[in-house]
Amino acid sequence: MKRPLDTSMPFVVAVSLEKFAGDIRVARLKRGLTAERMAESLGVHRSTYGRLEAGDAAVSIGLYAKALHVMGLGAPLSDLVDPRNDEEGQLLDLARLPKRARARRGNPVCFPLPRIGASPTRSADPVLRIGVLGAMSGPAAIWGLVSKQCAEATAEMYNEAGGVEIGGERYRIEIVSFDDGMQPVRSAEGARFLTETQGVRYIIGPNVEQTFAAATPVVERNRAMLFPYSFARSLYRPPHENAVLCQIATYQAAPQIYRHLMESEGVETLSIVAPATPEGLRQRAEIKLIARRIGLRILSESGVYRSGADNIESSLGPALQTMPDLLALPNLAPSDSVRLVARAREMGFHGPITTEAAQDTELLINSIGAQADGLVMLGGASPVGAHNARMRDFIVRYIRRAGRWDDEAGTKVHTLELILATLQMAGARALSDVNHFKAAIPNFSIENPLSNRRSLLTYYGARDLLHKRQIGIPLVVNAIRRGQLQTLFEQEPSEFMH
C-alpha cells in the first residue's frame, strides 16, 4: 500500500523524497536485485528497507546513502551542499563585503608570490582541453563515467603541480565530457561538439564499436584523435591513423586467461553468451577463433541478449544446458553482470565465468555475495603491490569523485598520462596539429609513472593493427574468490603484444 505524504514537512520536500525513493526502487529492479537482497546488503530488516523505498522520512539519511553506494551509484550526497555550488551563499558573501577598503596605517601591502614550479595553475594560464566521449548513462554508464573520472583525477594532479609543460609553456588541463548514451548518432554529435565547438584535438573514448565507428569520420575530418576502448581492429588499421586503442583487447587477453584456466583448473569446454551489439558479436567471433586455436571445445555460442533488457537471463539457457567447464561473457556491461552471474549460479553452473574486461567487483560482492566467486576478469593495469605514491594519490582523488574505488578505473588510468607525455615529446605544434603527435608515436617510450616496478609505457600494434596504435599496459587478471578480489597472474606488454 502506498504511504501518504508526510504532512509534517513541506509538500514539495515530501514529494521529492518520495520520487527519490521511487528512483532507488527502479535502480534496484534494473540491477535484478530483490528487496531482500538489498536489505541484507544494508544490514537492515526487510521491513526497514520497504520503508526506505516508500520514501519514509524517518529512515536515516545514512541508509539512503548506503543504498546508493551498494548499487554502484557513488556518493552523490558529498557534493549536494558543497560551498562551491552554493550560489545563494556566494551572493550573501558578496553582499557582506565592505563598500570600500581602508588602508592600514604604517603597514605596506604585501602579497605572497607562488613558488615557481610548484604552484597550482591559474585561470589565466593557457588551457589544454581534453575531451571524453562515452556512455555516461544507460546500462553501460559505468564505462564512460570511469573514463571521465579518471581523466578528471589525472588533470587535477597535473593542475595542482602547476600544469603540464609542453614546448616550454605550462598549460592548465580542462576536461570536456559528452555523454553519447552508447548511441551512434549521439557519438557523432559529441565528436562534432568537442572538435568544432570546444576546439578539442584529443578525445578519450568512445567505448564500443558502434559509437567508435560513428565518431571516426567526424574526428578524421576535423583533424583530431580518438583514444577508444573498442577492439574493432579495422578502425585502427590504415588508412585510419587517428585512433589509439587504450585497453587490452579480447583477442590479447582471452588466450592468456583460457590457457591459465586450462592448466590450473582443467578446463576443456566452453559456452559463450554475448550482447547483441556489433562489439559483443565481434568479440564472440574472436573468442570462437581463439578457443579453436588453443584447443578448447565450444559447446554453445547461440546465447545473445540486449543489454539492460528485462529478460537477459533467458540467454543463459542454451549455454548452460550443455554443462560447459567455462562460461564466457564477452563485452559484459557491469550493470548486466550482477543479473547474469547470479542467474548462472542459480541454474547450477559452478565453473569459472570469464568477462575479458574489468568489472565492478564491489557491486558484485555486495549484491550477490558468494555467487560472484569464480568470476575471472581483467584487473587494473597494475596489481596493488606495484602501486607507487603517484598511483595511490590518483586512487584517493578518484574515490573523492566517484565515491569508491572501481577496478575498472585501473584499466584506464594510463590514458591521459600517455597522451600528455606524447604531447610533451611532440612539442607545442602537436597541440593544434595531430600529425606531430602521430609522428612522435613510433619512438615514444617512458617509465611507467604509476608503478614501483621497472615497466615501460610505449605504443604497440605493429602486428594486430599494422602500425603502432595501441597503448602498451600490463595485463593483470583477477578473480573473485571467497568474497575477495585476488590476482591470478600478470604479464608485461612485451609478453603478449606486438
pLDDT at 467 over 90: yes
Give the 3-state secondary structure of residue 260: helix
Percent of the chain with pLDDT over 90: 59
**What are the distances in angstroms from CA 152 to CA 183, 215, 230, 399, 491?**
23, 22, 21, 12, 28
Per-residue pLDDT at 123: 56
- Beta partners for residue 472, in sequence order: 458
38: confidence class by pLDDT, cuts 50, 70, 90: confident
More confident residue, 40 or 441: 441
Q: How many domains does the chain have?
A: 3
Tell me, yes or no, whether 143 and 238 share the same domain: yes
Q: What is the spatial order of strands in the sheet that 456-460 belongs to? A: 445-447, 456-460, 470-472
My answer on whether 488 and 344 are in the same domain is yes
Extended strands (E) in 150-201: 164-166, 169-179
Instruction: Name the least confident of 64-73, 271-280, 445-454.
Output: 64-73
Q: Are residues 366 and 230 in the same domain?
A: no
Q: Are residues 466 and 489 in the same domain?
A: no
Domain of residue 305, residue span: 250-383+480-496
Name which residue leads in pLDDT, 132 or 23: 132
Per-residue pLDDT tens over the stretch 215-246: 999 999 999 999 999 999 999 999 999 999 99
Q: What secondary structure, in 3-state letters, does 211-258 show?
A: HHHHHHHHHHHCCCEEECCCCCHHHCCCCCCCECECCCCHHHHHHHHH
Cβ atoms 231, 245 nearer than 8 A? yes
Assess if residue 104 is contained within a domain.
Answer: no
Higher pLDDT, 78 or 494: 494
pLDDT at 254: 94
Of 37-46, 89-98, 129-138, 179-188, the one with minimum mean pLDDT is 89-98
Q: Taking a C-beta distance cutoff of 8 angstroms, is the pair 466, 498 a contact?
A: no
DSSP H or E run through 145 = helix 141-160
Residues 378 and 343 in one domain: yes
* 320 domain residue, yes or no: yes
- Flag whether pLDDT at 112 surpasses 80: no
Q: Tell me, what amino acid is at 77?
A: L
113 in a domain, yes or no?
Answer: no
User: Has residue 109 been placed in a domain?
Assistant: no
Q: Angle 209-221/184-192 helices, nearest 10 degrees?
A: 30
SS (H, E, C) 370-402: HHHCCEEEECCCCCHHHECHHHHHHHHHHHHHH
Q: Using CA atoms, how far apart are residues 148 and 180, in angstroms rounded to an integer?
A: 12
Residue 338 confidence (pLDDT) above 50 = yes
Kindly state the average pLDDT of the residues 273-277.
92
Percent of the chain at pLDDT exceeding 70: 88
Question: What pLDDT sits at residue 124?
Answer: 61
Same domain assignment for residues 442 and 378: no
Task: Give yes or no for a contact between 181 and 134, defined as CB atoms under 8 angstroms apart.
Answer: no
**Which grid coordinates are listed for 154?**
589525472
Split at pLDDT 50, 70, 90, the class of 149 is very high
- The pLDDT of residue 154 is above 90: yes
| pTM (two decimals) | 0.73
Q: Which grid cell sits at 235?
A: 578502425
Q: Which of 142, 71, 78 is nearest to 362 (CA)?
A: 71
The torsion region of residue 333 among left (phi > 0), alpha (psi -120 to 50) and beta comes to beta
181 in a structural domain: yes
**Across 131-153, average pLDDT:** 93
Q: Is residue 405 part of a domain?
A: yes
> Is residue 81, in this structure, part of any structural domain at all?
no
Domain match, 418 and 284 both: no
Tell me how far CA of residue 251 lies from CA of 231, 282, 376, 413, 459, in angstroms. Answer: 8, 10, 16, 21, 17
Say if residue 353 is in the same domain as residue 492: yes
Position 181 scores a pLDDT of 92
- Of these ranges, 3-7, 253-257, 481-485, the one predicted with the greatest mean pLDDT is 253-257
Max distance between CA atoms of the chain, in angstroms, equals 90
Give mean pLDDT, residues 353-358: 88
CATH code of the domain containing 287 = 3.40.50.2300
Return the number of other C-beta atoms located less than 10 Å from residue 155's C-beta. Answer: 22
Q: At residue 271, does pLDDT exceed 70?
A: yes
Task: Label residues 179-214 b or e (16+ Cβ within 10 Å = b).
Answer: bbbbbbebbbbbbbbbbeeeebbbbbbbbbbbbbbb
Query: Residue 333's closest CA among 341, 324, 325?
Result: 341
Q: Where are the beta strands (DSSP E) in 281-359?
A: 297-305, 326-328, 353-354
Whether 188 and 280 map to the same domain: the answer is no
232 in the same domain as 148: yes
Q: How confident is the model at residue 37 (pLDDT cuts 50, 70, 90)?
A: confident
- Answer yes or no: is pLDDT of 420 > 90: yes
Distance CA 438, CA 468 (A): 9
pLDDT digits (tens, 9 = 90+) for 47-85: 999 999 988 888 989 899 888 877 777 666 766 776 655
State the chain's mean pLDDT as an integer: 87
Q: Is 194 left (phi over 0), alpha (psi -120 to 50) or beta?
A: alpha
Q: What is the CATH number of the domain that holds 43?
A: 1.10.260.40
- pLDDT (average), residues 263-292: 94
Q: For residue 404, what are the CA distances in angstroms to 68, 119, 157, 361, 407?
A: 11, 28, 18, 11, 10
- Distances in whole angstroms, Cα of residue 128 to Cα of each of 148, 214, 432: 16, 25, 10
Cβ contact 416:150 at 8 Å: yes
Does 457 lie in the same domain as 485? no
C-alpha cell at 361: 567487483
Q: Which of the pair, 79 or 357, is modelled with greater confidence?
A: 357
The DSSP bridge partners found for residue 166 are 169
Tell me the C-alpha distance between 3 and 109, whole Å: 63
Is there a domain that residue 47 lies in?
A: yes
More confident residue, 41 or 147: 147
Question: Mean pLDDT across the stretch 370-376?
Answer: 95
Q: Are residues 331 and 449 in the same domain?
A: no
